Structure 1
Amino acid sequence: MNSSHTNAERQSLIMRAIWMLIFFFVWQIAEVVLLVVVVAQLVMRALNGKVNESLRGFGDSLSQYVAQIGRFATFNTDRKPWPMSDWPLPRPADIETPPPAASDVPKEPQA
């Protein structure tokens, strides 16, 4: 019985390795697509003064997808990325807050 359990684990690991190889190639394609999105956003920002919201959302989803591939490949999760699971939804853009003004920074007590 122990032999069959070891054999099942080995087959499972072989299947995971095949999936990892497939997702490695998908990762390579996704990187190129992400580069195109980055360059397109840069050009649109330079020409129009604002980013394209559709591309922003797609870029965020694609970034999350690449992260999912990395998490699967590094054994941080057993959940396979898209198309075996749902495509990641874009998150709202980060809202950056300005750094505190010098007058807002608490002063250290003098000894």
Structure 2
Amino acid sequence: MAEHDHLDGRIRGERPEPEARDGLLMRLIFTVLIAILINLAQTVLVVVTVIQFVIMLLHGGKPNDRLAEFGLDLGVWIAKAVRYQTAGSDVKPWPWTDLD
């Protein structure tokens, strides 16, 4: 009796259908692009953090609300990107979907 894969019902050891391989190839391409964007996001995070710190120094510890909101949006984007990369979700982050 053949043993089936618990995720998609294939017999263990069978190769995925061509459509599945094509889908995985596209996922790999998106994953690499998202990895590049995450690196860019980390650079942006460092710059925004330094700017926010300087603003706080100059304004008695009061942060800039727009920069704080941007930080929240950046964090949400990074979380969505990580979920896609780790296959926790099939939803790609912005710019492929809405940022919200």
Question: Is the shorter-chain TM-score for this pair beyond 0.5, marking a shared fold?
Answer: yes
Q: Which runs of 5+ in 1 are unaligned?
A: 89-111
1:35-76 C-alpha deviation (Å, 9 max, x unpaired)? 111111111111112000011101110111111111100000
| Residue number in structure 2 paired with 1:32 | 43
| Residue number in structure 2 paired with 1:18 | 29
Q: Which amino acid aligns with 2:31?
A: M
Taking the aligned partners of 1:86 and 1:17, their CA distance within structure 2 comes to: 21
Q: Flag the structure with more relative contact order, 1 or 2, with Cα contacts below 8 A and sequence separation at least 6.
A: 1
Q: Which amino acid aligns with 1:59?
A: G
Q: Does 1:77 align with 2:97?
A: no
Q: How many positions carry a matched residue from both structures?
A: 86
Q: Which amino acid aligns with 1:56?
A: A
| Residue number in structure 2 paired with 1:55 | 67
| Residue number in structure 2 paired with 1:45 | 56
Q: Which amino acid aligns with 2:74?
A: L
Identity across matched positions, percent? 35
Q: Which amino acid aligns with 1:21?
A: V
What is the RMSD computed on CA atoms of the aligned residues? 1.6
* CA-CA distance at 1:85 after TM superposition: 0.8
